[in-house]
Structure 1
């Protein structure tokens, strides 16, 4: 019999009961539900709504349930409507009438909003920790490859020389923004909805500030109707997770390209590669491809959440039961992707010789040749035109700019001198790109140190909140 069934004359249809039930999803929040119930009971005792004796029995019962679930002595009853009803029914079975008093001055509406926020706050902390570990790995890879020259691309065409360290650090910047977004999301959801009731609070003299302190929220929510119907924080976290997955997907795309026979910039470790069922020679970047593919399901979860919320009137609607499956799936997906991606990057081999060889091709030093002429006094547009003519000349003769003699250079401009060869040397080109944020080893070292300080600042600020 359902706890709410006294108003009804008929039992809920079995199919409708299964359709209505959510315990197969929300069972994950059992720790948060029990912790929230202990805080609620503590507050009820302190304001005189329940007795000390009732509280002691409730507290002892809830802790025994928690212990039994943790030890797998108590299994979830999948016939229960949800995790809240399961725990309350189990509590009443264990302690009797005091268990029936736990729900005083509380609705499942504010209870579930509290559970979801507590669960997601904990998960955000885990995701931030996993992101920090991945960033540490990427920074380590960057520090080992400060002098590893590779071609930089625009439109997937060879553009200008950079270093592998600079390229990898671009993703570190993306992931550091992801941490910042997750912290912002955490701070916005760090408000306690407990005490809002179904939508209009209660006539009992409850103390929402006490439960806020007991449950480590920053403050109570300001409006009871918004408190139980708000799922902005679920949508926001889905977006933040989608951004992390987007960044991992972009990086996975590059790893897939770099690991190809056409590029051979990197070699993935055997422990993060798979083979073919028919082609013995194959070594496939399946981990990178799967991460790239799993990003789409996370994006779908975001859109599903936005569509779920967009048409709901105030305040609580049963539709909101559907918010958890999407966000739980997004969290679980990102957690495993971060773990796999970290291991994949940590174990890959960088083929620096192949990167340098590729960088020598495709007239990657053409911009620097134009800059050379500008420094010799030629207006940039004239220098650009001369360089373009030289590139065309080299293409016709299947030569690189470095292969031309000084006499050939002078056919196009009398500004050329013997020092042009030093100026278009790849190592020289990189060493001169010292602008803050640039790819020179010197600039990347500064970038790494500044990034470390920034991320430490983010983490320290988050821990202090």
Structure 2
């Protein structure tokens, strides 16, 4: 007969290769804090409701607090032969107290609601870390000096020079994009922040549980009320993976620009030496390897999203071991995303832009041709389509001569031939990239005042997100402290009801979802 905790109906144990194939202790290490916190909350509720003998509940709480202290010291180790974090902790309690006492801990609970609750608790922490890392990178992007407002870069469409922009305009664009990632993470946090504990295997239980109490002790905003949905749901994991994948994609787009622009053909930006490496054979090389890896590792986060969608699509409601494969992939995506956010922030602080080169490229690539069209509309009253045709004809004629917009004398001559004379001095002012950048005063445009207005708006958003982050982390810390306080006092002999009424007085009520 097997000695597994689930082994009552089995005549023989699983083989070592089956154990190795099915165990999850290697990935469950990240869930130890959540499982212990959850165990303590569950036993507090069992004792409060007198679902198990009060003295047994006290003893179990004492054992769990001892395990928590071992975990805090880094001394708690999961044993692979016990399959997962849940059985490991339960077995540790049973080994200390005996099955007659420790065996009560799993009353009115299943590994199905345990793993869902643990994963939600871990994901909340990760999502908050990702919000913090994004806000740190946004702060770097928004902390640019005044000269960046008129440091010229070519803007690109279709990978070809389009209109001139500024370094400040480029940085605020990426900050704006990253703040959408923050909003996306906050959204998935809201849908993750629901307790599955008490759903049991899939159908609930006949025991008189207080799911609201355990949800409050675990810092959850609400209870995922339907038991079958609570144990089956993986959309919060998939949505988290989607947020990480989109965030990774956004970082990759920034990295792509840095990789291209740092090449000699562009020479628009140089990455710090500490974020580049050399060649083993070519002594002249400075390779932007951090940006390249940022671009490449976006594939990991995208791949995780596809993996989780594929894993979940064929699983009916109710737990199946297919769902066990969510964590190894998701953990990898989490590590990739968070490490990339942090290293990109460091690289971004040291980027050096070459504004003189940017201005030269704008001149040589006809980036300000639109300004002639705008001038013909505003000063001469031409319809824009006709003005566009005149400006395009000028560009075509200059190209045939091997000239650029710098050749304002040639430009004036060609425009006179086209029947729309503009003197060379006026053309010099129209075509100057810095003048073009300054003139785009529309909301969200490239002018210094427009960029400053956007920067102020983005900084206000950062402040709001930072306040939410601090408040949310504080709520979780308060719930965790309340749970441990209640466990210590009750394990020491205090009354369940009095202690829990006291510690929960400062915890928010769960919301009806």
Residue ranges of structure 1 left out of the alignment (5+ in a row)? none
Q: Which moved more, 1:49-58 or 1:253-262?
A: 49-58
| Separation in structure 2 between the aligned mates of residue 184 and residue 178 of structure 1, nearest angstrom | 10
2:451 pairs, out of 436, 444, 448, with 444
Q: Pairwise mapping of residues 311-330 of structure 1 onto structure 2 (< 5 A)?
A: 311-330=314-333
Cα displacement string for residues 234-277 of structure 1 (whole angstroms, at most 9, x for unaligned residues): 00000000000000111111100111111111111111101111
2:179 pairs, out of 176, 179, 189, with 176
Cα displacement string for residues 149-171 of structure 1 (whole angstroms, at most 9, x for unaligned residues): 11111111111111111112111
In the TM superposition, what is the alpha-carbon distance from 1:463 to its structure 2 partner? 4.9
| Separation in structure 2 between the aligned mates of residue 382 and residue 110 of structure 1, nearest angstrom | 68
Secondary structure at 2:80 match in 1: coil
1:374 pairs, out of 372, 377, 402, with 377
In the TM superposition, what is the alpha-carbon distance from 1:144 to its structure 2 partner? 5.1
Secondary structure at 1:401 match in 2: coil
1:392 pairs, out of 371, 391, 396, with 396
Q: Pairwise mapping of residues 219-234 of structure 1 onto structure 2 (< 5 A)?
A: 219-234=222-237
| Separation in structure 2 between the aligned mates of residue 422 and residue 348 of structure 1, nearest angstrom | 30
Are the aligned partners of 2:152 and 2:164 in contact in 1 as well (CA < 8 Å)?
A: yes
Are the aligned partners of 2:112 and 2:201 in contact in 1 as well (CA < 8 Å)?
A: yes
2:437 counterpart residue number = 430
1:63 counterpart residue number = 65
Are the aligned partners of 1:142 and 1:169 in contact in 2 as well (CA < 8 Å)?
A: no
Q: Pairwise mapping of residues 73-222 of structure 1 onto structure 2 (< 5 A)?
A: 73-96=75-98, 97-141=100-144, 145-222=148-225
Are the aligned partners of 1:386 and 1:413 in contact in 2 as well (CA < 8 Å)?
A: no
In the TM superposition, what is the alpha-carbon distance from 1:342 to its structure 2 partner? 0.9
Secondary structure at 2:81 match in 1: coil
In the TM superposition, what is the alpha-carbon distance from 1:176 to its structure 2 partner? 0.3
Point out which structure has higher relative CO (alpha carbons under 8 A, 6+ apart). Answer: 2
2:341 aligned with 1:338: yes
Residue ranges of structure 2 left out of the alignment (5+ in a row)? 473-513
| Separation in structure 1 between the aligned mates of residue 135 and residue 146 of structure 2, nearest angstrom | 16
1:3 counterpart residue number = 5
| Separation in structure 2 between the aligned mates of residue 274 and residue 463 of structure 1, nearest angstrom | 38
1:47 counterpart residue number = 49
2:456 aligned with 1:453: no
1:248 pairs, out of 247, 251, 256, with 251
Q: Which runs of 4+ in 1 moved over 6 A?
A: none
In the TM superposition, what is the alpha-carbon distance from 1:396 to its structure 2 partner? 1.9
| Separation in structure 1 between the aligned mates of residue 40 and residue 112 of structure 2, nearest angstrom | 17
Secondary structure at 1:360 match in 2: helix
Q: Which moved more, 1:431-440 or 1:142-151?
A: 142-151
1:258 counterpart residue number = 261
Instruction: Tell me the TM-score normalized by structure 2.
Output: 0.88
In the TM superposition, what is the alpha-carbon distance from 1:410 to its structure 2 partner? 2.1
In the TM superposition, what is the alpha-carbon distance from 1:464 to its structure 2 partner? 4.7
| Separation in structure 1 between the aligned mates of residue 211 and residue 339 of structure 2, nearest angstrom | 37
1:33 pairs, out of 6, 30, 35, with 35
| Separation in structure 2 between the aligned mates of residue 403 and residue 86 of structure 1, nearest angstrom | 78
1:12 counterpart residue number = 14
Q: Which moved more, 1:413-422 or 1:361-370?
A: 413-422
Cα displacement string for residues 54-94 of structure 1 (whole angstroms, at most 9, x for unaligned residues): 22221221121122133233322122210110111111112
Aligned residues: 465
Are the aligned partners of 1:183 and 1:462 in contact in 2 as well (CA < 8 Å)?
A: no
| Separation in structure 2 between the aligned mates of residue 313 and residue 229 of structure 1, nearest angstrom | 8
| Separation in structure 1 between the aligned mates of residue 303 and residue 414 of structure 2, nearest angstrom | 58
Cα displacement string for residues 190-246 of structure 1 (whole angstroms, at most 9, x for unaligned residues): 111100010111111110000011001111112100000000000000000000000
Secondary structure at 1:316 match in 2: coil
Kindly report the root-mean-square deviation, in angstroms, between the aligned alpha carbons of the 2 structures: 1.5
Are the aligned partners of 1:178 and 1:244 in contact in 2 as well (CA < 8 Å)?
A: yes
Secondary structure at 2:153 match in 1: strand
